[in-house]
A and B are shown apart, each in its own frame.
Chain A
Amino acid sequence: MAGKPKLHYTKGRGKMESIRWLLAAAGVEFEEEFIETKEDLEKLRNDGVLMFQQVPMVEIDGMKMVQTRAILSYIAAKYNLYGKDLKERAWIDMYVEGTTDLMGMIMYLPFQPADTKEKNLALIIERATTRYFPVYEKALKDHGQDYLVGNKLSWADIHLLEAILMTEECKPDVLSAFPLLQAFKGRISNIPTIKKFLQPGSQRKPPTDEKFVAIVRKIFNI
């Protein structure tokens, strides 16, 4: 009997947040076990449950899966969020890699030295508005459909919504030049499972603040 997936990570967003989004969007209930101290991480390592001594780790379908992209690909495929064939999969992969790069920049921002923050934030906004968002705006414009790939909700849509919301936390009006992305945001946010995830009380995690950065540094020794 499979049971609910169980997520092992800190209480923060980090590399686990995209996994939470995808499970939530697929309507899959999941449990979480939080790493709060260095000792919690050591215990997982000593138990031999982390193949490469790292988290995220997700217990799912009898596996102890590690590596964020491996976990995301598995969930996407299992819950029919990965397109209908190889070509749709190719487009979903390309789009997701783009949003991964953008979110990766934002994820590291709180961990960077205070005197580089302003410059890094400016770079994030520049990349978002000149490299990434134009691509998704154009994709939606070219086919005129509601979803990025194959006229059906996929991992690419969920990941893009996550990226949009994270970028808006950096700069609230960052979508001002992207009308189709604004409509996309409204539309995808209203999908029942996603709407639920966006409400207070869900397992969505808040942005990382300075206090949490200190905790993370202690746990991972960074």
Chain B
Amino acid sequence: MSGKPKLHYCNARGRMETIRWLLAAAGVEFEESFLETKDDLTKLQKDGSLLFQQVPMVEIDGMKMVQSRAIANYIATKYNLYGKDLKERALIDMYVEAIIDLNELLMTHTFQPADKKEQHLATIVDKATNRYFPAFEKVLKDHGQDFLVGNKFSRADVQLLETLLMAEECKSDILAKFPLLQSFKARISNMPTMKKFLSPGSQRKPPLQEKDIPKLMKIFY
């Protein structure tokens, strides 16, 4: 008997947050085991639980899955969030990979040294508003549908919402020029499982704060 998926990571967003989003979107309850110290990580490594000695690791369906993309792919397929055929999957993958690129930029913002922060923010805003958001605004405009791919809710919608919200945390009016993304954001946020995940008390993690960084560094370095 499988039981609930169990997530092994630190008590932070990082590379596990998208997985939390996808499980939540699919309405799947999950447990979490948080790494608090280096010893916690070492224990998992010595147990042989981490294929490449790294987290995220998710215990799911008898497997100890690692590599965030592999885990996300598995969850998306299992819970029908990955399109109906190869071509829809291709579109979803293209969108998701770009979203992950933007997400990486956003995620690293808190780690920037003080003298690089302003320029990094400028890069984020430039890439978001000149490269990524226009592409997704156009997708929505061209087909006029509620969801990015195949007129059906998929991981692409979940991951885009996640990233739109993170981008707004960096600059609150970053969606000003993108009316369709604004309504997309509202629409997807209102879906029952998403609404639940966005409410206080859910397993969604807050933005990383500078004061939390030393503790995280101690676990991994």
Contacts and interface: CB of A to CB of B under 8 A. Distances in A.
Interface in B65-90: 65-67, 69-70, 73-74, 77-78, 86-87, 89-90
B143 interface: no
A67 interface: yes
Interface string B45-73: 00000011100000001010111011001
B93 interface: yes
Contact of A78 (B61, B78, B86, B94): B86
Interface string A71-90: 00110011000000011011
Interface of B: 51-53, 61, 63, 65-67, 69-70, 73-74, 77-78, 86-87, 89-90, 93-94, 96-98, 101, 131-132, 135
A135 B89 CA distance: 29
A132 interface: yes
Given A70-B97, A86-B74, A98-B51, 7 more contacts: A52-B131, A52-B135, A53-B131, A70-B94, A89-B77, A90-B74, A94-B66
A97 B15 CA distance: 14
A74 to B, nearest CB: 5
A-B pairs with the 9 shortest C-beta distances?
Answer: A70-B93, A93-B70, A67-B97, A97-B67, A70-B94, A94-B70, A74-B90, A90-B74, A67-B94
A73 B67 CA distance: 16
Contacts of B53: 131
B90 to A, nearest CB: 5
B90 A87 contact: no
Interface in A15-46: none
A70 B67 CA distance: 16
B101 to A, nearest CB: 8
Given A87-B63, A89-B77, A131 B86 contact: no
A63 B90 contact: yes
Contacts of A97: 67, 69-70
A171 interface: no
A222 to B, nearest CB: 13
Given A94-B67, A131-B53, A67 B93 contact: yes
Interface of A: 51-53, 61, 63, 65-70, 73-74, 77-78, 86-87, 89-90, 93-94, 96-98, 101, 131-132, 135
B52 A135 contact: yes
Contacts of B101: 52
Contacts of A73: 89-90, 93
A66 B94 contact: yes
Chain A interface SS verdict (over half): helix
Contacts of A77: 86, 89
A63 B78 CA distance: 26
Contacts of B66: 94
A131 B67 CA distance: 14
A52 B132 contact: yes
Contacts of A94: 51, 65-67, 70
A78 B85 CA distance: 11
B65 A51 contact: no
A53 B101 CA distance: 13
Contacts of A74: 86, 89-90, 93
Contacts of A131: 52-53
